[in-house]
Amino acid sequence: MPTAPDALRFTPPLDALKLTGIRKTFGGTTILSGFSLDVPEGQRLALIGGSGSGKTTVLRLIAGLERPDAGEIELFGRQLPYRRFAGRLIPDDPPEARELRRPVGMVFQHFNLFQHLTALENVIEAPIHVLGQSPAEARRAAMALLDSVGLADLADRYPRQLSGGQQQRVAIVRALALKPRVLLFDEVTASLDPEKVAEVLAVMRALAADERVTMIIVTHEMGFAREVADRVVFMQRGVIVEDTPAAAFFAAPQDPRSRAFLNLAS
Amino acid sequence: METLFTTVIALVPRLLDGAVTTVAITLLTAPVAALLALIAGLARLSHVKAVAAAAVVYVELFRGTSLLVQLFFMFYVLPLIGIELSPWTTGVATLALNFGSYGSEIVRGALLAVPRGQIEAALVLHMPPSQVLRRVLLPQALPAMLPPFGNQLVELVKATSLLSLITISDLAFVGNALAQTTGRVTMVYVLLLLIYFAIAYTLTLAVRALERRYGTGATVAGAR
CA distance B109 to A150: 38
Q: Does A63 touch chain B (CB under 8 A)?
A: yes
Buried b (16+ CB within 10 A) or exposed e, B100-109: bbbbbbbbbe
Biggest alpha carbon–alpha carbon distance for chain A:
56
Give domain status of residue A160, yes or no: yes
**B139·A116 Cβ contact <8 A:** yes
List the domain range (segments joined by +) for residue A157. Answer: 114-179
Q: Give the per-residue pLDDT at B2.
A: 64
Q: Does B48 touch chain A (CB under 8 A)?
A: no
Q: Give the per-residue pLDDT at B23.
A: 96
Helices A135-148 and A119-129 pack at an angle, to 10 degrees, of: 130
**B126·A112 Cβ contact <8 A:** no
Q: What's the ipTM?
A: 0.90
CA distance A113 to B222: 19
Number of domains in chain A: 1
Helices B185-214 and B171-182 pack at an angle, to 10 degrees, of: 160
For B194-207, what is the mean pLDDT? 95
Q: Give the per-residue pLDDT at A3.
A: 52
| Residues in chain A where the model's pLDDT stays below 50 | 1
What CATH homologous superfamily does B4-219 map to? Answer: MetI-like (1.10.3720.10)
**A130·B135 Cβ contact <8 A:** no
Q: Give the per-residue pLDDT at A96.
A: 86
Cβ-based burial of A233 (10 A; exposed 0-12, middle 13-18, buried ≥19): buried
Q: Give the per-residue pLDDT at B166.
A: 93
Q: In which element (H, E) is residue A198 found?
A: helix A194-208
C-alpha closest to that of B202 among B168, B153, B148, B164: B153
CA distance B9 to B2: 11
Tell me how close the Cα of B150 comes to any Cα of chain A, in angstroms.
Answer: 22
Give domain status of residue A208, yes or no: no
In 3-state terms, what secondary structure has residue A150?
coil
DSSP string, A106-145: EE-TT----TTS-HHHHHHHHHHHTS---HHHHHHHHHHH
Give domain status of residue A159, yes or no: yes
Q: Give the per-residue pLDDT at A2.
A: 52
Give domain status of residue A186, yes or no: no
Q: Does B120 touch chain A (CB under 8 A)?
A: yes
Tell me how close the Cα of A101 comes to any Cα of chain B, in angstroms.
Answer: 8
Give domain status of residue A156, yes or no: yes
- Find the CB nearest B117 among A94, A108, A158: A108
Q: Does A190 touch chain B (CB under 8 A)?
A: no
A57 and A216 Cβ atoms separated by less than 8 Å:
no
A22 and A34 Cβ atoms separated by less than 8 Å:
yes
Residues of B in contact with A161 (CB under 8 A): 223-224
Give domain status of residue A34, yes or no: no
For B204-219, what is the mean pLDDT? 82
Q: Give the per-residue pLDDT at A9.
A: 53
In 3-state terms, what secondary structure has residue A186?
strand
**A116·B140 Cβ contact <8 A:** yes
pTM of the model: 0.85
Q: Give the per-residue pLDDT at B223.
A: 42
- Condensed to tens digits (0 to 9), the pLDDT of residues B125-166 reads 999 999 999 999 999 999 999 999 999 999 999 999 999 999
Length of chain A: 266
**A125·B125 Cβ contact <8 A:** yes
From the candidates B49, B119, B120, B125, which should be mutated to test the interface with A, based on the most A CB atoms within 10 A?
Answer: B125
CA distance A220 to B66: 58
DSSP string, B27-77: HHHHHHHHHHHHHHHHHHT-SSHHHHHHHHHHHHHHHSS-HHHHHHIIIII
Task: Write the DSSP symbol of residue A78.
Answer: E
Task: Write the DSSP symbol of residue B170.
Answer: -
Is pLDDT above 60 for B224? no
Cβ pairs bridging A and B (under 8 Å): 63
For B185-195, what is the mean pLDDT? 93
Tell me how close the Cα of B123 comes to any Cα of chain A, in angstroms.
Answer: 8
Residues of B in contact with A191 (CB under 8 A): none
- Condensed to tens digits (0 to 9), the pLDDT of residues B67-124 reads 999 999 999 999 999 888 999 999 999 999 999 999 999 999 999 999 999 999 999 9
- Find the CB nearest B126 among A98, A111, A113: A98
CB within 8 Å of B8: residues ≥ 6 apart = B187, B191
From the candidates B116, B126, B219, which should be mutated to test the interface with A, based on the most A CB atoms within 10 A?
Answer: B126
Q: Give the per-residue pLDDT at B135.
A: 96
